[in-house]
Structure 1
Amino acid sequence: MDALQNSKIPVVFISYSWTTPEHEKWVYELAERLREADGIDVKLDKWDLKEGHDKFAFMERMVTSPEIDKVLVICDRGYQSKANSNKGGVGTEKLLITPEVMENVEQNKIIPIVSELDEDRNPYLPTFLKSRIYIDMSDAEKFEDSYEHLVRNIENAPLYRKPPLGKRRVFNDQEATIFLKTGGIVHQMRRAVESNPRRLSALASNFSDSYFEDLDQLRINYEDFDMQAPDEKIIEKLNNTIPLRDNFIETIKILSENDIIETEWLIDFFERIFVFTEFRGKGNSSDFQCDHYKFLIQESYIYACAVLLKQSKYRVINELVSSSYMFDYQRGTFEGKFTDLRFHLSSLESRNERIGSRKISYTAFLITERINVTFISKQELLDADMILFYLSIMLNVSPDRGGWFPVTFIYRDYIQPIKLLARLKSKRRAESILDLFGYASIENLRSAISSYEHETGYRFAGTGNNIPYIKYYIKPEEIAVNP
């Protein structure tokens, strides 16, 4: 779709105080950028007010003229002081907008721009502008976001436009319907990618907070269970988690594609979600009351790593699986590893038996059945689960518990290669993948894979194939043999 642009070139006037030479320079550079970089016609005393002109008439004409679309009032300590005390000095700094002039101007024409904060981090706003919404451009780190906001305001192109009123929904089952705040934030992220990628980090933080509010809607009370078939309630809630899971995965995909995915954000997310593995309400509870949350945690971790692998974020994955996690639970806090995000789900295995589905693992069955191919393929998910297992062994993560067990292993063809490991045959690709394993050189990686071993017998009971050593998928001598 073609971008839209206003046909009329916007015209703005800047009113400011000559507080200091540095402040004058700040104003001049802002005016210069608006004019040169964004095609906005700026009226400024330094280039529009000439000798012999009536400066007061010039100022009033700039503010009241219908040809001027916006008036930018640059608010610093000097402007506030002169406006509040009705003082003027010599020269152009007396050109301050007065309340009398303001009365004859439309509200949306005046834009207060805060260029300085006081010692208490409050803006220097004149009394007659105190009630106006302003744009804060005082923080150098946030200046670009504020500048974007200003240009959009001048161009009448707000980032957020009120959407048309849609059709109201009809609820056949009110109790099963949940409203997800995260969906709105993901929508904002999609738009930010096109208009202002710098907003993505802040939106990611908002996403986490909203995610846990959404997740709280899926709690199960003991009274909700049919004790003849308690797994039915777990399955019902698991179905409700799919859009929430997809919002999380799309967030990771967007952040990864824009190179702003942060390990700490992911670690914090999985630390916070862990509290949902225990029932914390009052009254009766059961051992499987939080199984839908536990399933979602394990599934989301595999999905997240699959997306990160697809985006070649190898260092992030290495940090994610190597790091310690501080998990809160009812009796305090314990230091855990990513392997603590895998659970045995008794409700699902009892369901397997109750309905006679005869799955080797009902958990693995559901994970593979719920794949959203919009984000990853089935093979990519199966590969990610295996990579997590090999990393847990090679990085010696929770050796006392045997590392991460790849529950979906039973759904992969035994001879099917793992794409990422097959890529190690290329020297160029091997060098980029080193970060995943945390090795400094290809020779170190060859040595590690050569000496790799894990305990025998890694398999589901009743199945024939053990999980093979990593060298089954990539022989040490094959690493980096091709360009």
Structure 2
Amino acid sequence: MLSDHQHAIFVTYAWDNQEHQDKVFHFVNFLRDPKGYDARMDKLVSQQETAISFQKMMHRAMTDYNKVIIVLSPKYKQRAHAFEGGVGTEYSMIINDIDTYPNKYILVSFSGRGDDVVPLSFASRDIIDLSNFGNEREWNRLIAKLNDTDLFDFVKVAEVRAEAIKQTPVLAPKSPEVVIKKLTYHITVGAVWRPI
């Protein structure tokens, strides 16, 4: 039987400033209603245990949830690169885990995809850009990743593969004597032979 966490999404982030924390809070609530996901974050989980261990919570987020959304920001990058605090520990776990579980982690940003927010180990990865919160295309990409669904329908591969049409070049017939004379001439004067 799946644990309660396996049906939920954990959203992790750095505490850049109050404005950023508020954005993450509203993002989590938006995922919950109207989007219908059991999205959780540290503030929600810490209300469920009076003396929660943040290290334990972070470990559970990485191990117990099927989906983890990582909100990138300048502070997240700074702490990730320094392997500092909870973000540093989490980042270390993620970079060791992300290739093993390629559909578990979803990178999002409220500040675009610039070098100021993207840690080096995430630089070549797909990042959902929610800097424009109303961007339906990016939201659709996020929903597809959360649901493990495809964005594009491709037709089924045909049962019979196409064959190339073979062509044989047609040369004007020449008598063997003409070919031999021209070949001899080219060899005699040292020119490169080329077909006639």
Structure 2: gaps (5+ residues): 1-5, 167-196
Give a deviation string over 1:83-110, Cα, whole Å, max 9, x none.
111233xxxxx35522245424512211
User: Partners in 2 of 1:87 and 1:169 — Cα distance?
Assistant: 55
1:27 CA displacement: 0.9
Q: In the alignment, which residue of structure 2 is the partner of 1:282?
A: none
Q: In the alignment, which residue of structure 1 is the partner of 2:124?
A: 131
Greater fraction helix: 1
Contact 2:80 2:87 in 1 (8 A): no
1:54 CA displacement: 0.6
SS of 1:98's partner is: helix
Contact 1:64 1:104 in 2 (8 A): no
Contact 2:112 2:129 in 1 (8 A): no
> What is the root-mean-square deviation in Å for CA atoms of aligned residues?
2.7
* Structure 2 CA distance for partners of 1:100 and 1:46, relative to 1, 3 Å: closer
User: Partners in 1 of 2:34 and 2:158 — Cα distance?
Assistant: 38
1:161 CA displacement: 4.4
SS of 1:113's partner is: strand
Q: In the alignment, which residue of structure 1 is the partner of 2:74?
A: 77
1:26 aligns with 2:23: yes
* Structure 2 CA distance for partners of 1:172 and 1:72, relative to 1, 3 Å: closer
1:154 CA displacement: 0.4
SS of 1:103's partner is: helix
1:173 CA displacement: 8.6
Structure 1: gaps (5+ residues): 1-8, 89-93, 175-483
Query: Where does 1:164-203 land on structure 2 (aligned, <5 Å)?
Result: 164-168=156-160
SS of 2:33's partner is: helix
Q: In the alignment, which residue of structure 1 is the partner of 2:35?
A: 38
Q: In the alignment, which residue of structure 2 is the partner of 1:116?
A: 111
Contact 2:103 2:145 in 1 (8 A): no
1:148 aligns with 2:147: no
SS of 1:99's partner is: helix
- Ranges of 4+ aligned residues in structure 1 off by more than 3 Å: 167-174
Contact 2:83 2:92 in 1 (8 A): no
- Percent identity over the alignment? 21
Contact 1:10 1:155 in 2 (8 A): no
* Structure 2 CA distance for partners of 1:126 and 1:169, relative to 1, 3 Å: closer
Q: In the alignment, which residue of structure 1 is the partner of 2:173?
A: none
Give a deviation string over 1:117-151, Cα, whole Å, max 9, x none.
48xx546111222232221212346x322112101
Q: In the alignment, which residue of structure 2 is the partner of 1:158?
A: 150
Q: Which has the higher contact order (CA 8 A, sep 6+)?
A: 2
User: Partners in 2 of 1:27 and 1:132 — Cα distance?
Assistant: 21
* Structure 2 CA distance for partners of 1:140 and 1:61, relative to 1, 3 Å: closer
Contact 1:99 1:128 in 2 (8 A): no
Contact 1:55 1:95 in 2 (8 A): no
Q: In the alignment, which residue of structure 1 is the partner of 2:56?
A: 57
1:168 CA displacement: 4.0
1:52 CA displacement: 0.7
Contact 1:59 1:95 in 2 (8 A): no
User: Partners in 1 of 2:7 and 2:145 — Cα distance?
Assistant: 11
